[in-house]
Amino acid sequence: MNRAHFFAKGFLGLSALLLSASVWAHGGAAGTDTDQCKFELEPSHWIHYTAYQPKSYPAEEFCGKLPGTATPTQLVFDYQDMRYRKMSIEFEVTKEPEGTRVFFLPASKHSSGTVNLELPNGVPDPGKYLIHITLVPDQGERLDAHMSFTAGTGAPAGKYSTYLYLLFAAAGLYGVYLFSAGFRDKVDALIGKKKA
């Protein structure tokens, strides 16, 4: 196997690993058992939550820590349980510990199983916030669930973005290796020295 073929296979393998979103998304786990961005509505019935701040951090997903305040924020909730799609669900976001309401969406049904809350101005101040979700069945008692997050934590660590930058850098170097005979000769000479 020549060196160019070796680098090509290595690059493709690395690309497949890094771009596999199901491996990296939501705390690094695709399954709900280890998902950090979920909370329990009822025993064994979960809702998945993801936050976005697209103007300030367009390529990032967040869960318990939002880096910015006073920036457009989207809170997206997904529930797979068909029962919840038939129930009215109410959403509220409050600033804690004072309990000041920041956002409120009256009870309504979301038959698609996805609810996208738009907070055009984000949250006003750094600190702790609480998401209140209330299930309003046609009959029976209301069911409340809560999940907290903090805002104003600064720039995200950006693990996934860092890997993407490394991937692009590796792709650039590989392109230079393929198309620049001088660079290729230097790399081949270095590899030859390592083997010797």
Percentage with pLDDT > 70 across the chain: 74
In this predicted structure, what is the pLDDT of residue 33? Answer: 41
Query: In this structure, are residues 131 and 98 in contact, taking their beta carbons and an 8 Å threshold?
Result: no
The lowest-confidence range among 7-11, 179-183, 186-190 is: 7-11
70 phi-psi bin (left φ>0, alpha ψ -120 to 50, beta other): left
As given in the structure block, the two tokens for residue 42 are: 């009822």
pLDDT at 29 exceeding the cut of 60:
no
Query: In this structure, are residues 60 and 33 in contact, taking their beta carbons and an 8 Å threshold?
Result: no
Mean pLDDT value of segment 116-122:
94
In this predicted structure, what is the pLDDT of residue 28? Answer: 35
Helix (H, G, I), strand (E, B) or coil at 25: helix
Residue 106 parent element (H or E): strand 100-109
pTM of the predicted model as reported, rounded to 2 decimal places: 0.63
In this predicted structure, what is the pLDDT of residue 18? Answer: 47
Of the ranges 39-43, 95-99, 192-196, which is most confident?
95-99
In this predicted structure, what is the pLDDT of residue 11? Answer: 55
In this predicted structure, what is the pLDDT of residue 126? Answer: 95
Which segments of the chain belong to CATH 2.60.40.1930? 37-155
CATH number of the 37-155 domain: 2.60.40.1930
Q: Residue 75: which pLDDT band, with cuts at 50, 70 and 90?
A: very high
In this predicted structure, what is the pLDDT of residue 176? Answer: 74
